[in-house]
């Protein structure tokens, strides 16, 4: 039975792709990716020419069966996401779960560590990280209030993601529920316009509004 390699890719800066990841990507038969266009650019940057196959949140049973068939046909596969580590707030975790269920211990699944936005933010946050809760993205509608209530009641450090379209709304929720809690808000980590904002939700909001709200965000909430 061949191997599925789960490979962490850069969250912005291409120099963060490890040598082991490059070698592995160049050696596999097919790369499973969230968006073939994004991954093709990454592969092209390192002169890697390997076929890609999309696997994302809307992929159904047919795509899973195709991946199973590739593995049964002795093809080595790599699994990547658009940015970061597959399975961490990413649909790639579902295919790993399905393959484990189908093959059991007959399939070798090998991790190739790489970047993770949540851990990257924690490393510079200056808050306790020996214990933390990661919550992915807040729900857009249903469950949104209970999401923020959970943060309010959690005694550990909390880390979650937010998009440019909802960052101010999310900071508003935090300001209402926990006005004195300290935040570390990371914008565009490892990219050209990387910026770290520290302070309460209201203080960070003021800083963002005076600079830029464009980009992807990681929010670290200090513990109670």
Is the per-residue pLDDT at 176 higher than 90? Answer: yes
Is the per-residue pLDDT at 224 higher than 90? Answer: no
Alpha-carbon torsion, ordered 129, 133, 138, 144, to 10 deg = -130
Q: Which residues does 136 contact at the CB level (< 8 Å), separation at least 6? A: 89, 160, 161
Domains of the chain: 3-112 (3.40.1010.10), 117-221 (3.30.950.10)
Check residue 69 and give its pLDDT.
96
Q: What is the 3-state secondary structure (H, E, C) of 83-118?
A: CECCCCCCCHHHHHHHHHHHHHHHCEEEEECCCCHH
Rounded to an integer, what distance in angstroms lies between the CA atom of residue 196 and that of residue 122?
A: 12
Check residue 5 and give its pLDDT.
98
Q: How confident is residue 141, by pLDDT bands cut at 50, 70 and 90?
A: confident
Check residue 130 and give its pLDDT.
95
In the chain, the percentage of residues whose pLDDT exceeds 70 is 100
Neighbouring C-alpha atoms within 13 Å toward the C-beta of 56: 12
Is the per-residue pLDDT at 59 higher than 80? Answer: no
Rounded to an integer, what distance in angstroms lies between the CA atom of residue 89 and that of residue 57?
A: 11
Check residue 57 and give its pLDDT.
75
* Residues 52, 30 contacting (CB under 8 angstroms): yes
Per-chain mean pLDDT for the chain: 95
Compute the average pLDDT of residues 74-85: 96
Q: How confident is residue 81, by pLDDT bands cut at 50, 70 and 90?
A: very high
């Amino acid at each position: 039975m061949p191997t599925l390699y789960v490979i962490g890719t850069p969250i912005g800066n291409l120099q963060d792709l490890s040598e082991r990841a490059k070698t592995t990507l160049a050696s596999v038969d097919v790369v499973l990716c969230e968006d073939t266009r994004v991954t093709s650019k990454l592969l092209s940057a390192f002169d890697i020419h390997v076929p890609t196959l999309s696997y994302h949140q809307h992929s159904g049973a047919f795509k899973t069966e195709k991946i199973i068939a590739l593995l049964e046909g002795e093809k080595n596969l790599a699994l990547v996401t658009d940015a970061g580590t597959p399975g961490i707030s990413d649909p790639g975790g579902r295919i790993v779960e399905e393959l484990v269920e189908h093959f059991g211990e007959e399939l070798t699944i090998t991790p190739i560590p790489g970047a993770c936005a949540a851990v990257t933010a924690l490393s510079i946050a200056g808050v306790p990280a020996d214990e933390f809760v990661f919550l992915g993205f807040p729900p857009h509608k249903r469950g949104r209030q209970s999401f923020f209530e959970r943060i309010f009641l959690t005694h550990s450090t909390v880390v979650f993601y937010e998009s440019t379209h909802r960052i101010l709304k999310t900071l508003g929720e935090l300001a209402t529920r926990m006005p004195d809690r300290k935040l570390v808000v990371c914008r565009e980590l490892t990219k050209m316009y990387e910026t770290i904002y520290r302070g309460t939700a209201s203080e960070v909001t003021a800083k963002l509004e005076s600079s830029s709200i464009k980009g992807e965000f990681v929010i670290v909430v200090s513990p109670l």
